[in-house]
Amino acid sequence: MYQNFAEIERVCAERGISPDRLFLENEMRLTGRGEEEILRKMEERLSVMETAAQRALEHPQSAGLIRGTARRQFLYSAGETLCGRLINRAMARAYSSSEVNASMGRICAAPTAGACGVLPAVLLTLMEERSIPRAEVVRALITASGFGAVVMKNATVAGAEGGCQAECGVAAAMAAAAAVQLAGGTLEGMLSAFSHALSNCMGLICDPVAGLVQVPCAQRNASQAVNALLSADEALAGQMFPIPADQVVEAMRRVGRQLPPELRETAEGGVAATPAGKEIAAQMGLGAR
Amino acid sequence: MEISLFEVTGPVMVGPSSSHTAGAARLALVAREIAGAFDHVSFGLHGSFAKTYRGHGTDKALVAGVLGLSPQDERLRHSFELAKERGVTFDFYEAELDGAHENTVSMTFVKRGGEEITIVASSLGGGRIRISRIGDYPAEITAEAPTLVVVQRDQRGMVSEISRILSAHGINIGMMRLTRTARGEVALCVLETDSALEPAMVQEIARVPGVLSARAICV
């Protein structure tokens, strides 16, 4: 039925349906499950996201290097800030999921465990700020997942293959498309927001200090949540990205292959390879690898 | 599009790593189903598992898996204490496994009375796994579909008898693979089915003359 964004656009236009409807029908065909069951299952995933995005706002998790990051950002968001409450709350929620993940708590990978904070941060913050009904957020999650599937199919979402652009970057691109849907935008807008977000972080490397999914992963979750929001705003403002989404995905894939292994999750480059990064690793007994 | 929405948004799992935590827990859970009752497990860690297991809680995940905890059970982080409560002991060592995937573990289950079975498994990423060896037999089990593992005498009619029983219960076989060490000895038969098997069906297959053991994996 479709393998890329061009085909999604064509089928949606021909049939006059929204992308979440197309993705839902594809899922029904693929799994033999009914619509209600799929929606229920997706809502369960949303619930897991909500718990993880909320938990560390009040209770810092035993997450070594990033313990307390969510709470700090959340408390700050209530006062006077530069970017306002929405942005700061989105960041706090991204930190929360990251803390829960790092402390062996339950999360929903989206598209990976390391990037699990981005999509919930964006969706849940918009849901709160705009009082969006839960069923609409589930639909947006289906759109985000359908967009992510295209990347999994035609490129990669593994940090070891494509760097952080493939994990937090793709999460941001998925979230940007979902945010446009929640704001009532068009498929064209969703695709443009997706492309803005992925190109904003093209080449972003994966450089986990001490090999742990903590620093700079939690910070990247927070900043990519912001990337998703501003990319959605660009698309909603009518700033259409001039490169088609399929070509942006292909560019991301190529850039990932061009990254040397040191910059793909091996903890041998980037901030992981700084004196301070190595010092942290040594202190934790995890050594420079 | 043949990729499910839930492969993108999912799995629901205990962090921090789908390959080093969730995948490790899942492969150990599947190995437990194959091994049966045991008192002790020796985990031989290979490749990236050996290098990075502590930071990702791979050790806790493996122990949680052999105790029967699912990859989304938050008790996973306390699996060492849980093992103690249940009287299960374990140890870890570094293993060099020729040609194995980076994230591979060799699990030796020691049963009461000293009998041992070694199962080799790899975590392939995104929580997907592959059991590549059961005892002396090469295997290829992903446990994505309900799976039946049968150890049987290598004799005529075994396969048709097993498939007859499954068919009588309305179970469709999606895949069947038979491996043996030498003709006429013991063979390993792995079947994937479209629907899960009831315990009674597994028992019926286990009673077939020539079947040494039958175990269903549905995780």
Other Cβ atoms within 10 Å of B186 Cβ, number:
16
State yes or no: pLDDT of A289 exceeds 50: no
Interchain contact B21–A (C-beta under 8 A): yes
Q: Which amino acid is at A66?
A: I
Residue B64 pLDDT:
98
CATH number at residue B128: 3.30.1330.90
- Rounded Cα distance between B61 and A92, Å, is 28
Q: Which amino acid is at B156?
A: R
Same domain, B121 and B160: no
- Which residue range is the domain that position B49 belongs to? 5-141
CATH number at residue B184: 3.30.70.260
What digits encode the pLDDT tens for the residues B164-174?
999 999 999 99
Interchain contact A153–B (C-beta under 8 A): yes
Same domain, B101 and B171: no
Interchain contact A105–B (C-beta under 8 A): yes
Same domain, B72 and B86: yes
- Rounded Cα distance between A199 and A243, Å, is 10
Check: CB of residue A98 under 8 Å from CB of residue A66: yes
| Chain A to chain B Cβ contacts (< 8 Å) | 133
Q: For the sheet containing B89-94, what is the strand order? A: B89-94, B40-47, B103-110, B116-125, B128-134, B137-141
The mean pLDDT value of chain B amounts to 93
B217 DSSP β-pair partners: B147
pLDDT above 70 coverage of chain B, percent? 100
State yes or no: pLDDT of A288 exceeds 50: no
Mean pLDDT score, B37-59: 92
Minimal CA separation from B4 to chain A, in Å: 6
Number of residues that this document lists for chain B:
219
Contact A109 B4 (CB under 8 A): no
Helices A5-15 and A187-200: crossing angle, nearest 10°?
170
ipTM computed for the complex:
0.97
Q: Look at residue A100 and give its three-state secondary structure.
A: helix
Mutation target vs B (from A47, A104, A119; most B CBs, 10 A cutoff)? A104
The mean pLDDT value of chain A amounts to 96
Contact A26 B1 (CB under 8 A): yes
Same domain, B70 and B111: yes
Interchain contact A117–B (C-beta under 8 A): no
Lowest pLDDT segment from A161-165, B48-52, B83-87, B135-139: B48-52
Lowest pLDDT segment from A184-193, A200-209, A234-243, B13-22: B13-22
Same domain, B106 and B60: yes
Mean pLDDT score, A171-182: 98
What digits encode the pLDDT tens for the residues A27-50?
999 999 999 999 999 999 999 999
Residue B125 pLDDT:
82
Name the residue in chain A with its Cα closest to that of B61: A104
Q: How many structural domains comprise chain B?
A: 2
* Residue finishing a domain among B120, B141, B162: B141
- Rounded Cα distance between A141 and A127, Å, is 12
Name the residue in chain B with its Cα closest to that of A175: B9
Question: Which token pair is A49?
Answer: 């996201």
Same domain, B200 and B110: no
Nearest-by-Cβ selection for B13 from A44, A113, A149: A113
State yes or no: pLDDT of A81 exceeds 80: yes
* Residue finishing a domain among B97, B125, B141: B141
Minimal CA separation from B72 to chain A, in Å: 6
Query: Which among A227, A224, A215, A225 has a CA at the least distance from the CA of A286?
Result: A215
Same domain, B14 and B120: yes
- Rounded Cα distance between B184 and A100, Å, is 53
Residue A287 — pLDDT band, cuts 50, 70, 90? low
Check: CB of residue A102 under 8 Å from CB of residue A61: yes
What digits encode the pLDDT tens for the residues B184-216?
788 999 999 999 999 999 999 999 999 999 999
Mean pLDDT score, B146-168: 93
Helices A245-258 and A187-200: crossing angle, nearest 10°?
20
Interchain contact B76–A (C-beta under 8 A): yes
Q: Would you give the DSSP letter of residue A140?
A: H
Contact residues, chain A, for B21 at CB < 8 Å:
104, 113
Query: Which among A135, A180, A146 has a CA at the least distance from the CA of A43?
Result: A135
What digits encode the pLDDT tens for the residues A83-138?
999 999 999 999 999 999 999 999 999 999 999 999 999 999 999 999 999 999 99
Mark out the alpha helices in chain B (DSSP H runs): 5-8, 23-35, 48-56, 58-66, 79-86, 158-168, 199-206
Residue A54 pLDDT:
98
- Rounded Cα distance between B76 and B67, Å, is 10
Same domain, B105 and B34: yes
Same domain, B137 and B159: no
State yes or no: pLDDT of A5 exceeds 70: yes
Check: CB of residue A171 under 8 Å from CB of residue A119: yes
What digits encode the pLDDT tens for the residues B65-113?
999 999 999 999 999 999 999 999 999 999 999 989 989 999 999 998 8
Mean pLDDT score, A16-33: 97
* Residue finishing a domain among B95, B112, B141: B141
Nearest-by-Cβ selection for A107 from B6, B15, B55: B15
What number does CATH give the domain A5-283? 1.10.4100
Residue B112 pLDDT:
86
State yes or no: pLDDT of B117 exceeds 60: yes
Mean pLDDT score, A41-70: 97
